[in-house]
Chains A and B, each alone.
Chain A
Amino acid sequence: MTGAAVSQPVEQQERSVGLWGDALRRMRGSPAAIIGGAIIIFFVLMAIFAPFIAPYDPTRGDLGSSYLPPSGEHFFGTNVQGQDVFSRIIFGSRLTLGIAVMSVTIGVTVGSVLGALAGYFRGWIDATIMRGVDIMLSIPGLLLAIAVVSWLGRGAVQIAIAIAIVNVPIFARILRGSLLALRDADYVIAAKSVGVGGPALLLRHMLPNAIGPLIVQATLALATAVVDAAALGFLGLGPPDPRTPEWGAMLSDTYRYLTDAVHLAFFPGIAIVLAVLGFNLLGDGMREALDPKLRR
């Protein structure tokens, strides 16, 4: 962590390609990152262009055409409501990705602020924040999310907040850990010795170098957020209008009809698996790309 990090961001900022350029270059060499990224781009495009791709309105159903098997007309078949499963999966990506991104953004923001305060100031601030973090980490994540959703009510934003709350302590702890490791780094001591202090030291010298693990964790957290959102949907805590396409809710809607139509559970299941796989591969690739020890 020491030698390479010292030379890169502080003194040679103009000349070097920078953290991101370097990371991107290295990720291009990692098959995992490429495949993961491709899957995620695929889902993002799907979410953006959902109205153009989806052949049917995902919320409109015709009971007369329920349980149709996959065919040229309905690629993934229809569910009990006669809604087109293919269209629902496409539109479902909007909700799922939206919840994932929103929850991780909130989680990273709040978590980083808490982690930075704890890691920079130490003392009683650190102790207070970290004990709070310990308490939250001791509660199983999904259980905490369920409790938050029951408290806030049902809805996409509420779900995002619930998952964010689960993530906050993780991010806080990671950033604090990174900052603690950097306190005694040569370039930090050097900056201090020339009189840099306070927020400038934290924001300009320490944070940029501590942010790598956070990014990796954020990418991986997107994967868990997808699973958590699906789990909440499966448990009936998804969006209040049951017609809203949501992958987890699509799974739980089908279990009563599983013996009649396996495809109903299969396709949303595969969508969840693929999205999670994509974020995980991307996260792994990023971890390698951002790890200075592995830099060639």
Chain B
Amino acid sequence: MSNWRWFSVFAVLILVLAACGDPGTSAAPGESDDPPASGSDASEPPATDGGAGGEPQTGGTLVFGGAALAASLDPALTSDGESFRILQQIYEPLVDLVPGTVDELEGVLAESWTGEPEDTEYVFTLKEGVTFHDGTPFNAEAVKTNFDRWQTFAEEFQGNAYYYGAVMDGFGPDNLIASVEATDEMTVTITLREASPTFLFGIALTPFSIVSPAVLEATSADDPATSTLGTDTVQGGTGPFVMEEYIPDDSATLVRNDDYHGEHTAYLDRLIIRPIADPAARLQALQGGSVQGFDLIAPGDREAVDGADGLKLVNRESYNTLYLGVNPTATDDSSLADLAVRQAVAHAIDREALIEAFYGGGGSPADIFLPPTSGWFDSVGEGAEVYEYDPEAATDLLEEAGFDADNPATVNFWYPTEVTRPYMPDPQGLHQAVTTMLEDAGFEVEPGSAIWGTEYIPAAQNGEYDLHFLGWTGDFDDPSNWYGVHFGYAQGEPAAQFGCDVDGLEAAIDEAESTLEEEARGAAWSEVAQLVHNEVCFVTLVHGDTAIALTDQVQGYVANPTGSESFLDVWLSGE
């Protein structure tokens, strides 16, 4: 017994010694890994060039790791990126965003259309010769059937049909849609109750995909009690892939639709999507070869993939923003009631350093709420105050407001736990770093944390925190989806989350919401942006990029800022 103890003590000592040596040795290979990696980078561009220049090859199976499978297989009842990832391979809307953009539309099931943001009538000329996977011909009646189905959704469906409700201003005969008419076999006329600048972008979302009327009928899709559209493997889409098998929590298996109506059919024979919730496990699956690609890499793992042999990273420019909510009304006699103190908060934060440390470099500083990927970025950002990192200016501002080391400006500052978001990869780490920056400027910070869904979101939205982290991922490219959603007044009261009651803000938002002509709309929203940024109702921090990790074989993957992509153009190069 005693001998064994001595042995265990000895073993521990060895471990400790190994520990002292280990970091050195592990750092050294890490460093020496880099040159070969960059060497392989040097040899990689020709390979990818050859790939990109070479003809796409048909064939092969791609196994792709997502974070989850679909919440429902009925596209109209989904609102999350993981569902879209699967369903947009199978189902298609009338129009879609041009891959890689958030503000350019192209026809998919619609050959062409007429209608401008200030119009109330849209006429879609449909594509000829399209058939659903079940053989039903695609025509104007099919479009009308789908639009009517959404508008008359039973109440049980309405909660899940988030996007329809958001875009069409609710459900039923009084919503935005006045009528949908099949004017002839291949023409659909949609009349709106009032002009809506977001209508076209709205119907480009996956939930507005057109499903075969025969399949809707067969699955009794309109009856919440008996509908099987959301759970069964059905052949109801028009997309480049057909659902072959769907095993909840295990995999979605899609095969090529050989009758696809596009310029070419999919290159892949088969696309299998597997749900892997943990980013570290997704990376291991890629490294172990059980998937050939995965989405939403942990920022800390970017380098591991970027420098590795045989792997590559496709950066997805963000369409999101992390911000620091600044609420002068959260506590009585808040120091934040003074504009100078709020400006000090804005000047105290070094956004570049946050991006470097927490986003693996994959992000950009957020000057305004809208990301640069937005088509409205320049027009809305015009004139809004940008607060550069300047801790001395922050300290001066605090002094100006009557605070110093003996009498520091005290703020409470909250972060959410049990969550990561593309715009917020490490809430606690970000909180620590920003707390330190605020303290350096002369603030006294009382930290706090709460559980994301159940405690944090309600408390933040009720305006209970002086400072808090939150972010936003845009649904469609319109400034109202950013500034309007956050700062809109309700019954004359400013949004509780920010307690931002600036003179003229309510009127400016009303004006901007009702201005439809594009240039004037940009200018009107720019007025709103100036008010909230200049008054520091919040401090926009970072647009966080996400990224897809792929093996070198996977070609043709184009990342969309909106978060999910079609695999139509993806192909596998030979070994």
Using a CB–CB distance below 8 Å, which chain A residues touch chain B? 31-32, 35, 59-61, 63-64, 66, 69-70, 76-77, 80-82, 236, 240-243, 253, 255-260, 262-263, 266-267, 270, 273-274, 277, 281, 284
Asked if A31 contacts B447 (CB within 8 A), the reply is no
Q: Which residues of the partner chain B approach A257 to less than 8 Å between Cβ atoms?
A: 300
| A80-B357, A236-B418, A267-B19 known; A259-B432 Cβ under 8 A | no
Q: Please, how many angstroms separate the alpha-carbon atoms of A81 and B15 in the complex?
A: 27
Interchain CB contact (< 8 A) of B429 among A31, A81, A274:
A81
The segment out of B1-9, B172-180, B252-260 that lies at the interface is B1-9
- The contact sample of 15 A-B pairs, CB cut-off 8 A, is A35-B9, A60-B436, A63-B353, A66-B356, A77-B23, A82-B357, A242-B432, A243-B432, A255-B280, A262-B22, A266-B19, A270-B15, A270-B19, A273-B15, A281-B9
Minimum distance in angstroms from B358 CB to a CB of chain A = 7
Asked if B425 contacts A256 (CB within 8 A), the reply is yes
Asked if A260 contacts B303 (CB within 8 A), the reply is yes
Asked if B353 contacts A80 (CB within 8 A), the reply is no
Interchain CB contact (< 8 A) of B433 among A63, A240, A270:
A63
Asked if A256 contacts B23 (CB within 8 A), the reply is no
Using a CB–CB distance below 8 Å, which chain B residues touch chain A? 2, 5-6, 9, 12, 15-16, 19, 22-24, 26-27, 30, 280, 283, 298-301, 303-304, 350, 353-354, 356-358, 417-418, 425-426, 428-429, 431-433, 435-436, 447-449
Q: Which residues of the partner chain A approach B304 to less than 8 Å between Cβ atoms?
A: 259-260
Interchain CB contact (< 8 A) of A262 among B23, B283, B303, B429:
B23
Q: Is the interface of B mostly helix, strand, loop or mixed?
A: helix
Interchain CB contact (< 8 A) of B5 among A31, A59, A60:
A31
Interchain CB contact (< 8 A) of A81 among B2, B30, B436:
B436
Interchain CB contact (< 8 A) of A240 among B15, B354, B448:
B448
Q: Which residues of the partner chain B approach A273 to less than 8 Å between Cβ atoms?
A: 12, 15
Q: Which residues of the partner chain A approach B436 to less than 8 Å between Cβ atoms?
A: 59-61, 81, 243
Asked if B300 contacts A256 (CB within 8 A), the reply is yes
Of A77, A80, A267, chain B has the most CB atoms within 10 Å of the CB of A80
| A63-B354, A77-B23 known; A260-B428 Cβ under 8 A | no
Minimum distance in angstroms from A234 CB to a CB of chain B = 13
Q: Which residues of the partner chain A approach B354 to less than 8 Å between Cβ atoms?
A: 63
| A63-B353, A256-B426, A273-B12 known; A241-B447 Cβ under 8 A | yes
Asked if B9 contacts A243 (CB within 8 A), the reply is no
Q: Please, how many angstroms separate the alpha-carbon atoms of A63 and B426 in the complex?
A: 14
Q: Which residues of the partner chain B approach A240 to less than 8 Å between Cβ atoms?
A: 447-449
**A69 nearest in chain B by CB position:** B27
Q: Which residues of the partner chain A approach B30 to less than 8 Å between Cβ atoms?
A: 69
**A64 nearest in chain B by CB position:** B353
**B448 nearest in chain A by CB position:** A240
| A270-B15, A270-B16 known; A256-B298 Cβ under 8 A | yes
**B22 nearest in chain A by CB position:** A266
**A60 nearest in chain B by CB position:** B436
Minimum distance in angstroms from A24 CB to a CB of chain B = 19
Q: Which residues of the partner chain B approach A267 to less than 8 Å between Cβ atoms?
A: 19
Interchain CB contact (< 8 A) of B350 among A63, A81, A256:
A63
Q: Please, how many angstroms separate the alpha-carbon atoms of A51 and B387 in the complex?
A: 37
| A77-B23, A240-B447, A267-B19 known; A63-B357 Cβ under 8 A | yes
Minimum distance in angstroms from A47 CB to a CB of chain B = 19
Asked if A258 contacts B280 (CB within 8 A), the reply is yes
Minimum distance in angstroms from A116 CB to a CB of chain B = 33
Of B15, B429, B435, chain A has the most CB atoms within 10 Å of the CB of B429
Q: Please, how many angstroms separate the alpha-carbon atoms of A229 and B80 in the complex?
A: 38
Minimum distance in angstroms from B348 CB to a CB of chain A = 13
**B304 nearest in chain A by CB position:** A259
Q: Please, how many angstroms separate the alpha-carbon atoms of A281 and B5 in the complex?
A: 9
Given contacts A70-B27, A253-B429, A257-B300, 9 further A-B contacts (CB under 8 A): A64-B353, A69-B23, A69-B27, A70-B23, A80-B426, A81-B357, A242-B447, A259-B303, A273-B15
Interchain CB contact (< 8 A) of B301 among A242, A259, A284:
A259
**A264 nearest in chain B by CB position:** B23
Interchain CB contact (< 8 A) of B26 among A236, A256, A262:
A262
Asked if A31 contacts B2 (CB within 8 A), the reply is yes
Q: Which residues of the partner chain A approach B357 to less than 8 Å between Cβ atoms?
A: 63, 66, 80-82
Q: Please, how many angstroms separate the alpha-carbon atoms of A273 and B26 in the complex?
A: 21
Q: Please, how many angstroms separate the alpha-carbon atoms of A266 and B448 in the complex?
A: 28
Closest 3 CB pairs of A and B: A69-B27, A63-B353, A70-B23
Minimum distance in angstroms from B31 CB to a CB of chain A = 9
Of B15, B299, B436, chain A has the most CB atoms within 10 Å of the CB of B436
**B356 nearest in chain A by CB position:** A63
Minimum distance in angstroms from A238 CB to a CB of chain B = 11
Asked if B16 contacts A236 (CB within 8 A), the reply is no
**A252 nearest in chain B by CB position:** B428
Q: Which residues of the partner chain B approach A63 to less than 8 Å between Cβ atoms?
A: 350, 353-354, 356-357, 433
Asked if B6 contacts A31 (CB within 8 A), the reply is yes
Q: Please, how many angstroms separate the alpha-carbon atoms of A26 and B298 in the complex?
A: 55
Q: Which residues of the partner chain B approach A32 to less than 8 Å between Cβ atoms?
A: 2, 5, 9
Q: Please, how many angstroms separate the alpha-carbon atoms of A233 and B301 in the complex?
A: 24
Minimum distance in angstroms from B529 CB to a CB of chain A = 28
Q: Please, how many angstroms separate the alpha-carbon atoms of A24 and B78 in the complex?
A: 70
Q: Which residues of the partner chain B approach A243 to less than 8 Å between Cβ atoms?
A: 432, 435-436, 447
Q: Please, how many angstroms separate the alpha-carbon atoms of A202 and B419 in the complex?
A: 54
